[in-house]
Amino acid sequence: MGRRGRRSRLGLLVLATLLACSAAAGANVKPRAIVVLPYDASALGREEQWLGEGVAQLVALGLAQHPAFVQIERARVRAYGQPEVWSEPAVLQAARGVHAEAAVFGRIERRGDDYVILARLLEVKGGGGEVTALDPATAPEGELLARIAALPLGYAKTLRVPLTDAEAARIDRATRPTTSLRAFELYARGMMAMQRGSQEGNEAAVDLLARAIEADPSFVVAQYTLGAVHQALGNRWKAAAQYRASTQLDAAYPEPYKALGDLFLAAPRRLFDQAVEAYNKAIELRPFYADAHVGLGDARAAKGEVDGAITAYQKALVFNPVNPKVHMSLGKIYYAEKGLYYESVNAYKRAIEFDPQLVEARMGLGEVYEEKGLYKEAIEEYKRVLEADDKHTGALYNLALVYEKVDPREAITHWERYIQLASPLQTEKDWVDVARQHLKKLKGQVKD
């Protein structure tokens, strides 16, 4: 009978490649994992509270331009709470939870007709955190975006990161994606909707981002982000159109090239060569773009190019040592292609350590345990996947298979649950047929 675990056909793994791999640009810069959080805007009127998210977005855009700053995705922070106001204890808890070395946060308020920006930096040290207050910045409404744009350079200085004139100019340019405060407001509101992580939130984000682009058609970041939301909604063609529009507006902006690589890699026609080309373009524009190196590794792996895949993954780890997806990808290669059990388990555990919600890593670890006959451990991992996503059909399928070996009655329960969930899904049709065969056989055995 079938099982759901899928293994890439990568050929032979050359371990020497792991040692010989070297990084190019950014190799002399020690990357620091940071998390950028929304500013506290509770002192503003409700119609202006979007500015808390707006400040965070501009700071994130700026810090992404330098290899010293490894930004941890906001989605990973959700596991540690989503408070209305990020207080110092909440910031410390989130930073420690996601293995960040520092956290960017602050407060924005009004004093008379002016805005006052109170930037803060928390550095995780030992069992606690040390908070540094940057110099307050006061700005009338017409100068607000310009004053916010100065924050990333202030954070770099506070973190004692030396910048060349070219690096400072690149950061400054990135924090000025639009001169229209209205377009920026719509963009920030769109990001807030997108981060809800729901269908409704994504649909609201599409409307807000489209309006931001109407207010400023040259707003490249909004064009790209609209593509990302379309991709999250499953609108591949609309996503691709937005990514291409972004590259036409600014051919030096790497994010849409990386996103196009993701689309090509996931395409039904398996456009691996196009994916490699897109990832390479993103890396050419930003050599320390860790996620693009991960994508390139995945594309090389899909093509059976083991050495190229390992090289890409190792470069990704140089630029982002806390990237859970890289450790997960290495876990797959270690076991599927080389049979390195302990190395695979350690890589998967490392991925889960950095992101406990990364269900793909738990699925991979569960499959390794299952194939080694460690059924108790496999069951534990599949159950944890279902705790994170109770409709994860792959985990239900694999869990039913494992229970067949240790508890047939429990296996029957899980097969029935899987069939109930998967039957309406066209993509699961063949697996449902196999599940029904398992269920019929088990019921006959239990009856006997």
Q: What is the pLDDT of residues 47-104, one digit of tens each?
A: 999 999 999 999 999 999 999 999 999 888 887 877 888 999 999 999 998 999 999 9
Question: Which residues are CB-contacts of 315 (< 8 A; sequence separation ≥ 6)?
Answer: 21, 23, 24, 293
- What span, in angstroms and rounded, lies between the C-alpha atoms of 314 and 1? 37
No. of H helices and E strands in the chain? 22, 6
Domains of the chain by start residue, with CATH: 29-176 (3.40.50.10070), 323-447 (1.25.40.10)
DSSP sequence for 105-161: EEEEEEETTEEEEEEEEEEEETTEEEEEEPPPEEE-GGGHHHHHHTHHHHHHHHTT-
Which tens digits make up the pLDDT trace of 157-211?
999 999 999 999 999 999 999 999 999 999 999 999 998 889 999 999 999 999 9
The answer to whether residue 437 scores a pLDDT higher than 70 is yes
pLDDT at 144 over 60: yes
Q: What is the pLDDT of residues 256-266, one digit of tens each?
A: 999 999 999 99
CA triple 207-212-217, angle to 5 deg: 120
Q: Specify the pLDDT at position 8.
A: 35
Question: CA-based angle 190:196:200, to the nearest 5?
Answer: 75
Q: Is the pLDDT of residue 1 over 50?
A: no
CB 385 within 8 A of CB 393: no
Residues 358 and 325 sit within 8 Å (Cβ to Cβ): yes
Tell me the backbone φ, ψ of residue 40, rounded to 5 degrees: -75, 115
pLDDT at 24: 41
Please tell me the distance from the alpha carbon of residue 173 to that of residue 126, in angstroms, as a whole number: 35
Secondary structure class of 9 (helix, strand, coil):
coil
3-state secondary structure of 55: helix
pTM (2 d.p.): 0.83
Give the separation between CA 101 and CA 114, rounded to whole angstroms: 33
pLDDT recorded at residue 83: 84
- Summarised one tens digit per residue, pLDDT across range 283-324 is 999 999 999 999 999 999 999 888 889 889 989 999 999 999
The whole-chain average pLDDT of the chain stands at: 90
> How confident is residue 337, by pLDDT bands cut at 50, 70 and 90?
confident
pLDDT of residue 9 exceeding 60, the answer is no
Sign of CA dihedral 42, 46, 50, 51: negative
Does position 10 have pLDDT exceeding 50, yes or no?
no
Between residues 80 and 240, which one has the greater pLDDT?
240
**pLDDT number for residue 60:** 97
Rounded to whole angstroms, how far apart are CA atoms 413 and 396? 10
Q: Which of 72-81, 340-349, 422-431 has the lowest mean pLDDT?
A: 72-81
User: In this structure, how many other beta carbons lie within 10 angstroms of the beta carbon of residue 378?
Assistant: 25
CB 51 within 8 A of CB 89: no
Handedness of CA 52, 53, 58, 64 (dihedral sign): positive
